[in-house]
């Protein structure tokens, strides 16, 4: 309803909105704007800087008894509103699209002489802290949880401080306008705060912060920058680059003014230069980022500082005095449990390390400001668990103490996935990323080809397919659209899904028993549960009360063959490997089948053939290796391996419906994500290639006529805080 009070006039930029008269004016002149776009604008102006979801807009603009193509109507209303404001979706000044979620008003809003609201507005977090909801992690397990760490004097105060946050007083300013599916991969603010260096799929660019003027930085075609940071001189950047997905990244010193870059180190990523310019720390490892190394700024005298198998370092930065480093580290410990991360400080000269923070909500970005504050990213509480925001805490350089409560610096949607700071500490740059997997369905053509995939559901949030109904007409998938991860069923010609398994806990996976009458799924323990075992549940496909089948520590995956076969398997981790157990889908009786001895067992992916005779197993190397799949006979026989060069980096595998081939997600020599149909002799046929969105696994229908695929679109752009 339009306002009738004294503040019914709202101003932003050159525009003025009269809420009582329903008019939009620019410099005093009326701007033509239809009713629905005006209502959208009114709703956005009520909450500047905050997400207004598509569901909220639908409820306000299209009542439940109104039958209309909502998506088309809303998209048209947003387009007319942007046209009236002279705005654009690609580089918004007023209305920002938050992919698949809704919209946000960016500009400063003046509601009257006593009220000016900035974006984002000041908020205080008052919800009680609970365990974070696990992110989608199907069969792959990255090394991302932490062993118990020593908390040095701040644990209780830190957690209490994050339950009641100080108000946010700062305005975020967007610096890049990359569209969806063309993300900014990395960005860094120059030491003087005047320039932005950023990398995307097109290369490396230099942008003037004050004017937006942008120029490409000349690099050889073989260099594909994925991470960038500045040298203290403000004229050179340190770039991580790999010429192909099968190559480990290397570190290069490149001038922003052109010229040939200089290679400093092989097998190096996420480098950080000390403020005095003398040293570089970087991440290295056989399979990824499991070690921290140090070298001189010219690449000489490199040595390992920290790290062991199973570690995974998210970031590393120098202290302002160039004597200490801070890092975010995770180590895998449990199957489906949310990983815990730790923030550590190390004195490389004395080889001493201490840990000051530990939380399942701690994320990767890290900055050490000139005034001694450590700035880090913390995931939000449910239902915003996939968003994260930046916080700051005062910490001594040697890491022995902290003081005061953490201060919240941002309070906006999206995940904060990277950060950097100017030398004077006044300019804080960070990346905001958003994205989520969605379920797509494609028809299987002759010879393993696929028709054009179409999106199954228009629901927001994360949706991941796991099975089909026995008749091949409906997809069974998990989704967090209503909060926790639940199980849904949706026909390929149905506009909305049906809920099969709800509740207040997250479910993982959704596979059918051999005769297709029941769904088998995993249920994680809550943080407050004394019993840490993962429960394997069963529930009738037709609906009913879930029942406990069995419970074990560290269950990672479950699958059954298709009748008349009766084989069912689940995997669980052991101290140094992965154990495969057969089980009865009615009684829960289990027996060990085989085990894989490998300290990196969490990188193995497996699938059971429809006839129950063969276990297919592959390992996802963090640096892509030549494609290979192991075939292990379940009933006895000789193991064999199929390879299919030149493909590399097998990520996901699932048997085809007829058991004569597998659906495999791998990478082409050029790095393009590709869905392959691979027969048992290693002949691979590309079925779907995706150069923009993330491509996941493919689940075939029992009749082999369709596959359900998850694909994730996403966006990432650089934002700035000043004088924070």
Phi/psi at 133 (nearest 5 deg)? -75, 135
> 51 falls in which pLDDT band (50, 70, 90)?
confident
Burial class (CB in 10 A: 0-12, 13-18, 19+), 670: exposed
Task: Report pLDDT for 637.
Answer: 85
Pairing of strands 415-421, 225-230: unpaired
Q: What does the pLDDT look like over 445-482, one tens digit per residue?
A: 977 789 999 999 765 678 999 999 999 999 999 998 87
Task: Report pLDDT for 2.
Answer: 41
> 91 falls in which pLDDT band (50, 70, 90)?
low
In the block, tokens 């369905």 appear at 441
Task: Report pLDDT for 3.
Answer: 43
Q: Residue 319: CA atoms inside 13 Å, Cβ hemisphere, count?
A: 18
CA 565, 571, 574: angle at the middle one, nearest 5? 150
Task: Report pLDDT for 162.
Answer: 54
Q: How confident is the model over 508-527, as a mean pLDDT? A: 91
Task: Report pLDDT for 66.
Answer: 47
Q: How far apart are CA 344 and CA 329, in angstroms?
A: 8
Phi/psi at 215 (nearest 5 deg)? -135, 145
Lowest mean pLDDT among 213-217, 502-506, 564-568: 502-506
Considering only residues 569 and 150, tell me which one the structure prediction assigns the higher pLDDT: 569
Question: Is residue 217 pLDDT above 90, yes or no?
Answer: yes
What CA–CA distances, in Å, run from 336 to 133, 332, 339, 481, 506?
11, 10, 9, 20, 10
> 434 falls in which pLDDT band (50, 70, 90)?
confident
Cis check for the bond before 668: say yes or no (omega within 30 of 0).
no
Task: Report pLDDT for 164.
Answer: 37
Two tokens, residue 306: 């920290």
Pairing of strands 706-722, 427-443: antiparallel
Q: How far apart are CA 507 and CA 321, in angstroms?
A: 47
Q: How far apart are CA 239 and CA 225, in angstroms?
A: 6
Q: How confident is the model over 272-286, as a mean pLDDT? A: 93
3-state helix, strand and coil shares in percent for the chain, rounded to the nearest 5:
5, 45, 45
Q: How confident is the model over 427-438, as a mean pLDDT? A: 91
DSSP secondary structure string, 640-683? EEEEEEEEEEEEEEEE-TTSSEEEEEEE-TT--EEEEEEETTS-
> 339 falls in which pLDDT band (50, 70, 90)?
low
Average pLDDT, the chain: 84
Name every residue whose Cβ is closer than 8 Å to that of residue 162 and which is 6 or more positions away in sequence. Answer: 125, 129, 378, 391, 406
Task: Report pLDDT for 421.
Answer: 97
Question: Is residue 175 pLDDT above 80, yes or no?
Answer: yes
> 130 falls in which pLDDT band (50, 70, 90)?
very low
Question: Is residue 127 pLDDT above 50, yes or no?
Answer: no
Task: Report pLDDT for 96.
Answer: 86
Task: Report pLDDT for 169.
Answer: 60
From 93, 82, 96, select the one nearest 432 (Cα to Cα).
Answer: 96
Q: Residue 502: CA atoms inside 13 Å, Cβ hemisphere, count?
A: 8
Q: How confident is the model over 631-641, as a mean pLDDT? A: 91
Ordered by where they begin, the domains of the chain are: 9-117 (1.10.10.10), 155-434+716-722 (2.120.10.30), 465-599 (2.120.10.30)
Q: 328 with 348: CB under 8 angstroms?
A: no
Q: How confident is the model over 601-627, as a mean pLDDT? A: 86
Lowest mean pLDDT among 282-291, 345-354, 492-501, 654-663: 282-291
Question: Is residue 123 pLDDT above 60, yes or no?
Answer: no
Question: Is residue 528 pLDDT above 70, yes or no?
Answer: no
Alpha helices in 114-181 (DSSP H): 155-163
Phi/psi at 85 (nearest 5 deg)? -90, -5
Question: Is residue 618 pLDDT above 60, yes or no?
Answer: yes
Q: 49 with 12: CB under 8 angstroms?
A: no
Q: 43 with 59: CB under 8 angstroms?
A: no
Q: How confident is the model over 579-589, as a mean pLDDT? A: 96
Task: Report pLDDT for 494.
Answer: 87
Strand, helix or coil for residue 557: strand
Task: Report pLDDT for 83.
Answer: 83
N-term to C-term CA, the chain: 37
Percent of the chain with pLDDT over 90: 52
Percent of the chain with pLDDT over 70: 85
> 166 falls in which pLDDT band (50, 70, 90)?
very low
Question: Is residue 600 pLDDT above 80, yes or no?
Answer: no
Phi/psi at 41 (nearest 5 deg)? -60, -40
Q: How confident is the model over 182-190, as a mean pLDDT? A: 95
Q: How confident is the model over 148-167, as a mean pLDDT? A: 37
> 63 falls in which pLDDT band (50, 70, 90)?
low
> 573 falls in which pLDDT band (50, 70, 90)?
confident
Q: How confident is the model over 206-228, as a mean pLDDT? A: 92
Considering only residues 261 and 83, tell me which one the structure prediction assigns the higher pLDDT: 261
> 168 falls in which pLDDT band (50, 70, 90)?
low
Look up the pTM and report it: 0.71
> 648 falls in which pLDDT band (50, 70, 90)?
confident
Torsion of CA 101, 674, 479, 514, to 10 degrees: 170
Q: Name the β-bridge partners of 444.
A: 450
Torsion of CA 668, 673, 675, 677, to 10 degrees: 20
């Amino acid at each position: 309803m339009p306002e009738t009070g004294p503040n019914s006039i709202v101003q932003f930029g050159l525009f003025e909105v009269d809420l009582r008269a329903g008019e939009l004016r620019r410099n005093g002149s009326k701007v033509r704007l239809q009713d629905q776009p005006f209502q959208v604008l009114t709703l956005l102006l009520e909450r500047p800087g905050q997400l207004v979801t598509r569901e909220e807009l639908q409820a306000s603009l299209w009542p439940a008894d109104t039958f209309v193509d909502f998506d088309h109507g809303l998209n048209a209303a947003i387009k007319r509103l942007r046209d009236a404001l002279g705005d654009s979706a690609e580089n918004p000044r007023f209305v920002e699209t938050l992919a698949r979620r809704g919209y946000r008003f960016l500009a400063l809003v003046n509601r009257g002489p006593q009220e000016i609201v900035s974006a984002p507005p000041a908020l205080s977090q008052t919800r009680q802290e609970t365990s974070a909801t696990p992110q989608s992690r199907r069969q792959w397990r990255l090394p991302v949880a932490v062993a118990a760490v020593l908390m040095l004097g701040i644990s209780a105060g830190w957690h209490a401080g994050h339950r009641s946050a100080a108000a946010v007083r700062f305005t975020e300013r967007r610096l890049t306008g990359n569209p969806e599916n063309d993300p900014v991969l990395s960005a860094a603010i120059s030491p003087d705060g005047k320039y932005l260096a950023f990398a995307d799929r097109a290369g490396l660019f230099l942008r003037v912060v004050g004017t937006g003027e942008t120029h490409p930085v000349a690099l050889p075609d073989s260099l594909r920058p994925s991470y960038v940071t500045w040298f203290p001189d403000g004229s050179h950047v340190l770039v991580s680059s790999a010429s192909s997905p099968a190559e480990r990244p290397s570190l290069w010193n490149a001038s922003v003014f052109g010229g040939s870059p200089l290679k400093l180190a092989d097998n190096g990523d996420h480098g950080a230069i000390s403020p005095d310019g003398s040293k570089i720390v970087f991440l290295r490892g056989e399979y990824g980022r499991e070690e921290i190394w140090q070298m001189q700024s010219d690449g000489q005298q490199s040595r390992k500082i920290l790290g062991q198998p199973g570690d995974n370092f998210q970031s590393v930065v120098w202290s302002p005095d160039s004597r200490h480093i801070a890092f975010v580290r995770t180590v895998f410990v449990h199957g489906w449990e949310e990983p815990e991360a730790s923030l550590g400080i190390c004195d490389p000269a004395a080889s001493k390390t201490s840990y000051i923070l530990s939380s399942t909500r701690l994320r990767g970005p890290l900055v050490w400001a000139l005034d001694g504050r450590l700035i880090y990213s913390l995931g939000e509480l449910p239902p915003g668990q996939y968003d994260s925001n930046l916080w700051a805490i005062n910490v001594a350089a040697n890491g022995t103490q902290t003081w005061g409560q953490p201060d919240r610096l941002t309070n906006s949607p999206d995940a904060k996935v990277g950060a950097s700071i100017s030398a004077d500490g006044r300019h804080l740059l960070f990346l905001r990323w958003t994205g989520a997997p969605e379920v797509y369905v494609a028809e299987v053509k002759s010879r393993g080809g696929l028709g054009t995939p179409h999106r199954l559901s228009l629901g927001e949030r994360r949706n991941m397919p796991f099975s089909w109904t026995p008749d091949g007409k409906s997809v069974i998938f998990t989704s967090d659209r209503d909060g926790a991860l639940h199980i849904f069923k949706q026909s390929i010609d149905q506009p909305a899904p049906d809920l099969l398994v709800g509740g207040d806990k997250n479910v993982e996976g959704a596979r059918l028993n051999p005769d297709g009458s029941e769904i088998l799924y995993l249920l994680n323990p809550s943080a407050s549960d004394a019993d840490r075992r993962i429960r394997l549940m069963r529930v009738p496909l037709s609906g009913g009360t879930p029942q406990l089948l069995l419970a074990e520590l560290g269950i990672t995956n479950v699958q059954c063959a298709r009748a008349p076969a009766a084989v069912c398997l689940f995997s669980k981790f052991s101290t140094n490997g992965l154990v495969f157990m057969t089980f009865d889908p009615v009684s829960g009786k289990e027996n060990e089948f085989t085990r894989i001895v490998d300290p990196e067992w969490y990188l193995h992916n497996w699938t059971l053939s429809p006839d129950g005779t063969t276990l297919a197993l592959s390992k996802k190397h963090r640096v892509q290796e030549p494609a290979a799949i192991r075939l292990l006979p379940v009933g006895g026989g000789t193991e064999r391996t199929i390879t299919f060069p030149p493909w590399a980096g097998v990520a996901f595998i699932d048997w085809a419906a007829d058991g004569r081939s597998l659906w495999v997600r791998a990478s082409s020599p050029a790095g393009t994500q590709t869905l392959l149909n691979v027969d048992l002799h290693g002949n691979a046929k590309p079925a779907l290639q995706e150069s923009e969105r993330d491509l996941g696994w493919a689940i075939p229908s029992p009749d082999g006529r369709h596959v359900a695929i998850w694909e994730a679109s996403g966006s990432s752009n650089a934002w700035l805080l000043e004088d924070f």
